[in-house]
Every structure is written in C-alpha cells, then in structure tokens.
A and B are shown apart, each in its own frame.
Chain A
C-alpha cells in the first residue's frame, strides 16, 4: 500500500485540521463531522461543521467517545442520504459500527467519506469527565506508548485499531517523529488526495510492519483477557453473578450503536404481565427479583446484536454500576462472529449473517443442543423418580 507523508505543522491534531480545511477550500467535501470540545471543557460532542473558521477548535483525536459516531451518522442520515458531501472523522470502531448500521438500514453511506486514524484507544467516560485535567495527559501518554492501563478495557485488547475501515486513514505507528502517514483506503479517498495534490507514492511498509506487530500483541492480550473472563462468566450462576448489580436502567442498550430499535422488545407489552404472573413465579422459587428478567434482557440484547457488535465499549462507559458489559459482549461476539466468519464493519458489501439463508448450515450446532436437551430430560426424569 502506498500513501503520503503528512508532516506535522505544530502537532498532529493541527495538521489534521489543516488538511480538513484545505479539503473544504478545494471542495473535496462540503462539511466535516468531527468531535469538538463542549463549552464547559469537560466532554466532547460531534459537530457537523461547514464554516472552516469553526473547525479550529475541533478535536480529531478526542480522549473519549461520548456518543458513538455511528449513532451520530444515523441521526444524520436515517431519513435519507446527506445532500451535502460530508467527511466524518471517527475512531475505527465508530466507522465499523456505521457500516453495520447501514446494513441494518439505519444509516446511509452515500455522500459520506470517512477519515480514520491509528487509534490509541479512549478513556472510560465517567472517569474522564470527573477530571479532564488528569485524563488529557494520560491520553497523550497512551498515544506515545500505544499501551496504557488507563484506556477502556476493550480498547486495551482491540486489534482493529489500525484497520482502515475508511476512505482515508492516518497511520501513526511507524511514522517518523513529526510525521504521520496519510493513505487512501478507497477510490474516493484516492480521488480526494489527488484533488489536493497529495502524492500517494510513499511506501507504507514501515507502518504495516508496526501495525502487524501491535496487532499480534493485542490479539495475544485479548486471548488472555477472554480466557480469564470466561472462567468468571460462563454458566448461568456466574452470569447471574456478573449481572447481579444491574439496576435495569438499559443505558447499555441506549448508547449501543447497534441497538437501533426505537422501542426495545424488553420494554414492550410482552413484558407487562399481570401480578399473578409475578406472584406465581415468586411462589415457585420462594422469591422473585424485581424488576424481573434482568439477565434475560442482557441475553436477549446479546442474541439480537452480537453479530454486529464492534466491541467499542460504549455500553460499559454508560453503566452506572461498573458491570463489565463490553468485555462480556466482546467475548461472546468473538465466538459468535467466528462461527459465521463475519467481521462487523469489515466490508460494506458483506451481507449480515442473519440476512443470508443457507439450508445446510450449522447443523452441528443442533446436535449438542439436542444432546443437552435430551440429557436435561433424563435428569428431570431421574429427579422425579428420586422424590
């Protein structure tokens, strides 16, 4: 792959902004969707910016993801493609989620161009907003070292940090001091670079080597993290324990970029039951937790969206109880996605597994289920004999 060397003017962020400004000037795109600090200085929000003087204060590499970018794109294009050509600056996982939402018909990619960058991860949101003065240097540190225990747990084990899901990608790894590496990752990206007179002749071998190296290290780390997590969450008892402090606020679902339903099934009439139902369930077991079906909500949400889960970590950020939601979902996502050989956000064209019908598929999955089911039957039978 070949690209262009992007020399820093003052720092990386300023250089990216200068690039965006030139892009607006030369009408490569008409507006930019980019994070911007909010007036109280302790958080960020996506702004759609047309006026290039307003671009000055934008933050292409924010230390947090307050709103998953896919949600912003969906809000912008759910009712139809943007009339203006927009360049969106987003973390790789946000772009991957946007691609998933477009497959789910909740976003339109028409007239959108994406710019991503090698992502050092982001910090847990609630910790950051409590003390941005402490968070900012920690984030800068992570950008230097590409490893930091202060980033979100799922960011620390993310191996898709440099995968260009975008039209344009900024490579930071393996770049010389004071330089970054800009390369086109689509025809559209190439067109923009051509229009800006940017050569695409510099070799990206150094970048590719570094990305590959870090990717391997991250995959290794993720395997370890998943293994240790699995021993803590596998099976009904441990799952119940993991989600036992859940207060059923559904924040995880509300901020999840893939959970797009206006009204969640778990908030629907299906769960509005007569009091006799609750009392009967309580009487059967001695007591019934209220609100009921808390774990069912998480399992249901999981089965609904897990194939498209990009492991962004936004759910965990929004959990008031500190439940490792994103870590659990990431573990299950990896297994489920492997089964279908599906990587969410990898390609715009790749159909969602649930949208493809194959008669002879996953037959082997049915067998263990039947066996388990049959075994349960035997157990029940022997249990009643013992009575």
Chain B
C-alpha cells in the first residue's frame, strides 16, 4: 500500500511547494512542468532549474500544448541527464514516453515522474485568446464531482487509463473534495518515497483505488463504447474513409504532434512516396479525374499501420487538425482493436516488448487463410 502525503495547501500550491522542495533540496537539478509563457499569453512546457521560476508554473493545468512524451524524447534522444530531473506529466504523456523508449527514442534514466489521477484536458484551441484563470477554476469545480468534465477532449472523456501505473508520485485530483485546502500526493514507488523524504506534511498508508475512480472508469467506458460504436459504422469501407478523411488538407499536423510518430522524415513525405507524372496520367486515363495531391487516405492508413499498436489515445492529433477530422477517435478505435489482437497495452510497462519486435512462427494463420 503506498504512502499518502497530505500537504495543507491547495492542490496547485501544494504541488508547486513540493517541486520547490525538490529543487531547493537538490533532489533534482530541474523540473519539467507546464508554465505560463510570456505573462498570460500561452501555456507551454518548461525546464525549470531556478526555484523562483516555479512561481509561474502550472503543473496541473488542464491543457496539453504538446504531448510531454515527445518533449522528454527530444530531451533524452542524445543521452540521459547526469543528475535527476523531475517531470510532471499526465498519464498518457508518460505512456507515450514509454512507447518512445521502446523505440529507442529516449531514456528513462535519471527521471522521476510526477503524475496525477487525470480528469482530462481541454482542447488547446480553448487556450488561445481565452482567460486561463476562468478555464482553470471551472475545471476545478467539476473535478470534485467525479464526473466527465464538460468540453474536455473527447479522447479524455473516453480514456480508461487516467490513473498512472508507473509514476513515482501521483497527485490525487479526481473526486477530491478539498482541492482548495489540501494536496494529496501518493508516493507510488521507492523513488517517490525517497523524493518526499523531508517534505513537511501528514503521512498515512492508503490505496489509490477508490469507488469514485471505479465509477468514473465505468462512465468513461460507456462513453467510449458509444463513441466507438458510432464511429464504427461511419468509417466502414472506402466510402466511410472518404467521408472521414476527404476534407484532409494534407498538412500532416496529426503526425507532427503525434508522440509516436517519431520519424525524422515521414515515409509519406519522402521521395519514394512522391507521385511521378506517369501515375497521375494512369489515374487520369482510368478514372477521368484524379485528386491532386494524391494519397490522402493512403497517408492516414499508412500512419495507422505504423503506429496504431502503440497509440495511447492522447488526442493531440484531433487538436491540431485544421479541418476538424476526429483523427484521435479513429486512431484510438483502430488502436484498441489492434492492441487487443496482440494483447498489448502501450505505455504500461517499459519491459513489455513491442509486438513487432517479437517473432512467433505460428501466429495469425487464420488471417492468412481469410
């Protein structure tokens, strides 16, 4: 049973105090957290090394301007930090990082993870020109109800992994009644306990699991089923795919922000994938007309084939789509099916081997027969 550390400050202030403690006590040399960028203009991740700079930190802010897994990968692609760094990440960001590590795109060494029971985040467009304070307070009011929060990403509303399995410290948010007065930190690993050693607060043993969390899990499961059922009929066959992806403008923003799409140069932007005049001529003769640039659906199917087994359903792709394609719902839906076939749970355990990395001679013969 993990230890629960209760700090008698609001959850935001308590978390910040804890981060400050980590920096001041030199338990870590830096903290990666969301913070205000340039006054109130934006929200972004920041690597903070000076305790005073934590003033501007918003570690639990309900936005995901970038999937943190991608940020951590950029930071550790060329090696791991020499001294410990604390990263405040939402559960799906941690899962993304773990998938990236399996693909050799980063390193876990010298990282400690602070995560949260995650009530979800708002679509990023809600932060542009908006009032961040109001957004945050509306969010806080809803958390204590233990319900799905209105207007949050549909990826979040249908997320079944909102409790982080592998964080060292977990900030308890969902269904907490006293977020204004008390900050509950679960010390979820030996590392987490060592980190919190010396931090003032009340300590007791408590399980993270609660009836409220289970209830919310069931609610999200229902919403997920409903969403996927609707999508399932919509995306059937080539007609369905045209309906879904027809309006795509080919910006490939979905791939650029996807934490799993780590390739320097996507195959679909590469030289071999560029159509030669001859292929257009052929299409033109055969069909009388052809879309230019070509390969719109092929790109999405290709991306699905490449990464759906590891799709952690964070919702970044939907957020950046300029033409409102529900990319994340499609990818989560396909991801779920693919992951079920391989009995694979992306991002849960860094030791769990990627299905593509395992060879089994007697596998999927029934698919071959079909």
17 new A-B contacts at CB < 8 Å, known A48-B290, A125-B323, A126-B324: A47-B291, A48-B280, A48-B289, A50-B285, A54-B288, A75-B293, A126-B322, A244-B42, A251-B251, A251-B253, A251-B256, A268-B264, A289-B37, A318-B251, A319-B322, A320-B319, A321-B127
Q: Number of A interface residues at 8 Å Cβ cutoff, please give it.
A: 75
**Closest approach, in angstroms, between the C-beta of B62 and any C-beta of chain A?**
15
CB pair A245–B290 under 8 Å, yes or no, is: no
Within 8 A of A (CB), among B24-75: 29-30, 32, 35, 37-39, 41-50, 52-53, 65-66, 71, 74-75
Given known A241-B41, A251-B320, A286-B52, contact A278–B75 (CB-CB < 8 A):
yes
| Ranked 5 nearest A-B pairs via Cβ | A51-B288, A286-B50, A245-B42, A43-B247, A75-B293
Report Cα–Cα, A293/B78, bound state, in Å.
17
Report Cα–Cα, A239/B320, bound state, in Å.
22
**Closest approach, in angstroms, between the C-beta of A35 and any C-beta of chain B?**
10
Given known A45-B291, A244-B38, A282-B49, contact A79–B274 (CB-CB < 8 A):
yes
Within 8 A of B (CB), among A238-293: 240-241, 244-251, 254-255, 262-263, 267-269, 272-276, 278-279, 282-283, 286-291
CB-nearest residue of chain B to A271: B74
In the complex, what residues of B have CB within 8 A of residue A278's CB? 47, 75
Whether, in the assembled complex, B337 has its beta carbon less than 8 Å from a beta carbon of chain A, the answer is: no
In the complex, what residues of A have CB within 8 A of residue B284's CB? 31, 48, 50, 84
Report Cα–Cα, A84/B280, bound state, in Å.
11
CB pair A254–B277 under 8 Å, yes or no, is: no
Report Cα–Cα, A323/B251, bound state, in Å.
17
Given known A77-B277, A290-B75, contact A33–B45 (CB-CB < 8 A):
no
In the complex, what residues of A have CB within 8 A of residue B78's CB? 272-275
Given known A51-B288, A251-B322, A275-B75, contact A38–B281 (CB-CB < 8 A):
no
Whether, in the assembled complex, B161 has its beta carbon less than 8 Å from a beta carbon of chain A, the answer is: no
| Most chain A beta-carbon neighbours within 10 Å: one of B41, B46, B129, B249 | B249
In the complex, what residues of A have CB within 8 A of residue B291's CB? 45-48
CB-nearest residue of chain A to B54: A287
In the complex, what residues of B have CB within 8 A of residue A254's CB? 251-253, 256
Whether, in the assembled complex, B271 has its beta carbon less than 8 Å from a beta carbon of chain A, the answer is: yes
| Most chain A beta-carbon neighbours within 10 Å: one of B77, B269, B322 | B322
What does the 1/0 interface line of B230-260 toward A look like (CB < 8 Å)? 0000000000001100110111110011000
In the complex, what residues of B have CB within 8 A of residue A262's CB? 265, 269-271
What does the 1/0 interface line of A83-94 toward B look like (CB < 8 Å)? 110000000000
Given known A43-B246, A72-B292, contact A282–B129 (CB-CB < 8 A):
no
Whether, in the assembled complex, B128 has its beta carbon less than 8 Å from a beta carbon of chain A, the answer is: yes
Whether, in the assembled complex, B294 has its beta carbon less than 8 Å from a beta carbon of chain A, the answer is: yes
What does the 1/0 interface line of B294-330 toward A look like (CB < 8 Å)? 1010000000000000000000000111111000000
CB pair A290–B74 under 8 Å, yes or no, is: yes
**B interface bracket (residues with beta carbon within 8 Å of A):** 35 or more
Which of B79-87, B139-147, B221-229 lies at the binding interface?
B79-87
CB pair A47–B292 under 8 Å, yes or no, is: yes
CB pair B38–A241 under 8 Å, yes or no, is: yes
Given known A241-B39, A282-B49, A286-B50, contact A129–B323 (CB-CB < 8 A):
yes
In the complex, what residues of A have CB within 8 A of residue B38's CB? 240-241, 244
In the complex, what residues of A have CB within 8 A of residue B324's CB? 126, 129-130
CB pair A287–B50 under 8 Å, yes or no, is: yes
CB pair B124–A279 under 8 Å, yes or no, is: no
**Closest approach, in angstroms, between the C-beta of A80 and any C-beta of chain B?**
5
CB pair B74–A321 under 8 Å, yes or no, is: no
Whether, in the assembled complex, B275 has its beta carbon less than 8 Å from a beta carbon of chain A, the answer is: yes
Report Cα–Cα, A321/B85, bound state, in Å.
29
CB-nearest residue of chain A to B56: A287
Q: Determine which of A45, A47, A250, A320 lies in contact with B322 in the assembled complex, contact meaning CB atoms within 8 Å.
A: A320
**Closest approach, in angstroms, between the C-beta of A115 and any C-beta of chain B?**
16
In the complex, what residues of B have CB within 8 A of residue A294's CB? 44
CB pair A287–B48 under 8 Å, yes or no, is: yes
CB-nearest residue of chain A to B74: A291
**Pair count A-B, CB < 8 A:** 225
CB-nearest residue of chain A to B246: A38
The interface of chain B, by Cβ under 8 A from chain A, is 29-30, 32, 35, 37-39, 41-50, 52-53, 65-66, 71, 74-82, 85, 124-125, 127-129, 242-243, 246-247, 249-253, 256-257, 264-265, 269-271, 274-277, 280-281, 284-285, 287-294, 296, 319-324
CB-nearest residue of chain B to A323: B128
| Most chain B beta-carbon neighbours within 10 Å: one of A54, A83, A248 | A248
12 contacts between A and B (CB under 8 A): A51-B288, A75-B274, A75-B293, A80-B277, A125-B322, A126-B324, A241-B38, A244-B37, A244-B38, A273-B78, A275-B78, A320-B253
Within 8 A of B (CB), among A287-323: 287-291, 294, 317-323
Report Cα–Cα, A294/B37, bound state, in Å.
12
**Closest approach, in angstroms, between the C-beta of B65 and any C-beta of chain A?**
5
Report Cα–Cα, A244/B37, bound state, in Å.
6
CB pair A275–B76 under 8 Å, yes or no, is: yes
Whether, in the assembled complex, A66 has its beta carbon less than 8 Å from a beta carbon of chain B, the answer is: yes
In the complex, what residues of A have CB within 8 A of residue B256's CB? 249-251, 254
Given known A38-B246, A40-B243, A251-B251, contact A79–B277 (CB-CB < 8 A):
yes
CB pair A320–B320 under 8 Å, yes or no, is: yes
**Closest approach, in angstroms, between the C-beta of A268 and any C-beta of chain B?**
8
Whether, in the assembled complex, A143 has its beta carbon less than 8 Å from a beta carbon of chain B, the answer is: no
CB pair A291–B71 under 8 Å, yes or no, is: yes
In the complex, what residues of A have CB within 8 A of residue B276's CB? 79-80
In the complex, what residues of A have CB within 8 A of residue B289's CB? 36, 47-51, 54
In the complex, what residues of A have CB within 8 A of residue B39's CB? 241
**Closest approach, in angstroms, between the C-beta of B114 and any C-beta of chain A?**
16
Report Cα–Cα, A135/B117, bound state, in Å.
42
